[in-house]
Amino acid sequence: MWLQIVFGFAGYKIYRWVFADDDIPDVGKHNSEAILAVSRRLEKIGGGKAYVGLRIPDPDTGDRQNIDIVLVTKKDVTIVSVLNVSGSVEVDGDGNWACSSGGYMNNVKVYPDPVAEITGQIDIFKLYLDQRGLTLPKGQLNATVVLPNAKCRVTHSIDSMPEVISFNKWAELKPEGGRFTTWIKGAFSSDNADGLHQKLHSILSTSPMWDRLELKGDKHFFGEFVEFKGKHEDVQPLKHIKRSKVSQITVQNASAFGSLGRSKVYLLCSPRNYGGEESSSSSSSESTEMVTRANVDVVFSPMNSKKTKRFSLSDVVLLVLGA
């Protein structure tokens, strides 16, 4: 019996390795990881550029509107909302989406209608672009809700919505020439398409975004960097790191130093560029290197969380600071 189970499992693994589509990433438990996984696959499939974790100002409320992904291709612009849920999803009597975990407990979590929310994001995004001097051609801004979790099952009423990409559809998306091309509805056809693209990329690359923290083990968090925490002598050199001047901090390595016997961390601080994507390739000579002890902590407030978290600087790979 046990031999059958072992060989059956081994056969399944071989089948997955040979035949399965390894292009479909594991989205993880956290929505931040799911958003990044979806953005990377969309870039690979569509050949475009994905801007992740935008916080667009809402002129009506004065608050920031969180937009998971803005995908820019040569054919159009798509606002993408990522809903990383597992279980059975259906539309309830109020038009919201109810996700049931099933099983003995059968927890039910209700989400405001994602399609209605992302439709509202389109209006806010259009107004934001207008305020920055760019009007997209009519029909070139689309909205899509992606459910990338393999354990998510949706009803036919949700699956049939043109704005929704369920996991089954997500798994079937292919590069240009396949199903992905039917998702994109139009194309930039104006004579000044290159100019529109250049300005759009410039605007998006300088738009407000969430901070992003990458840890060892390919763990990611969107949220807000709060401060460095540690002994005064260790934190003092890091006080010079200002959001207005630094766009990202790369932790290069950590090692013990002889008689000091204490681990040190090297930080490479990349300067912020306000010129947009076209001039964003700063040379390494413009970056600033700092050294501190590894017992410094990074205090970070994750997106959609009321509590801050502390991470050891030695566990950090990258800290990207939004504008």
Q: For residue 228, what are the domain limits?
A: 211-320
Tell me which H or E stretch contains 87. Answer: strand 87-91
26 vs 277: CA distance, rounded Å: 29
Residues 256 and 316 in one domain: yes
Report the amino acid identity of residue 203: I
75 φψ region: left (φ > 0), alpha (ψ -120 to 50), beta (else): alpha
> If you ran DSSP here, which 8-state letter would residue 289 be given?
E
Q: Tokens at residue 139, please?
A: 């029909």
Task: Establish if 15 belongs to a structural domain.
Answer: no
Residues 156 and 237 in one domain: no
Distances 304 to 101, 106, 166, 221, 224 between C-alpha atoms, Å: 21, 23, 23, 11, 11
> What's residue 192's pLDDT?
56
Task: Establish if 17 belongs to a structural domain.
Answer: no
Residues 194 and 217 in one domain: no
Q: Number of H helices and number of E strands within the chain?
A: 8, 17
How many distinct structural domains can be found in the chain? 2
Task: Establish if 59 belongs to a structural domain.
Answer: yes
8 vs 3: CA distance, rounded Å: 8
Domain termination residue (choose one: 205, 238, 264)? 205
Residues 36 and 185 in one domain: yes
Count other Cβ atoms within 10 Å, centred on residue 219: 15
Tens of pLDDT, residue by residue over 133-162, are 999 888 889 999 999 999 999 999 999 999
Q: What is the DSSP string of 222-286?
A: EEEEEEEES-HHHHGGGGG--TTTEEEEEEEEEEE-GGG--EEEEEEEEEP--S-GGG----GGG
Domain termination residue (choose one: 154, 173, 205)? 205
Q: pTM for the complete prediction?
A: 0.81
Residues 68 and 187 in one domain: yes
Residues 122 and 174 in one domain: yes
Q: Look at the alpha carbons of 164, 35, 303, 60 in this order and tell me if their dihedral is positive or negative.
A: negative
Task: Establish if 115 belongs to a structural domain.
Answer: yes
Considering only the C-alpha atoms of the chain, give the largest distance between any 2 of them, rounded to a whole number of Å: 69
Q: Tokens at residue 127, please?
A: 């107004």
Q: Residue 54 burial (CB < 10 Å; 0-12/13-18/19+)?
A: buried
Report the amino acid identity of residue 57: P
Residues 70 and 148 in one domain: yes
Residues 55 and 185 in one domain: yes
3-state helix, strand, coil in the chain (%, to 5): 30, 35, 35
Residues 148 and 261 in one domain: no
Residues 193 and 218 in one domain: no
Residues 215 and 257 in one domain: yes
Q: Residue 315 burial (CB < 10 Å; 0-12/13-18/19+)?
A: middle
> What's residue 287's pLDDT?
85
Domain termination residue (choose one: 205, 223, 249)? 205
143 vs 134: CA distance, rounded Å: 19
> What's residue 298's pLDDT?
96
290 vs 249: CA distance, rounded Å: 10
Q: In a structure prediction context, what are the per-residue pLDDT tens digits for the chain, which is 323 residues long?
A: 333 323 433 443 443 443 344 455 555 556 899 999 999 999 998 888 999 999 999 888 888 999 999 999 888 899 999 999 999 999 999 999 999 987 666 789 999 999 999 999 999 999 999 999 999 888 889 999 999 999 999 999 999 999 999 999 999 988 764 334 444 444 454 555 678 888 999 999 999 999 999 999 889 999 999 999 999 999 998 988 999 899 999 997 655 444 454 578 899 999 987 765 544 444 445 888 998 888 899 999 998 888 999 999 999 999 999 87
Task: Establish if 97 belongs to a structural domain.
Answer: yes
Task: Establish if 7 belongs to a structural domain.
Answer: no
> What's residue 109's pLDDT?
92
Residues 101 and 196 in one domain: yes
Q: Tokens at residue 94, please?
A: 């109020």
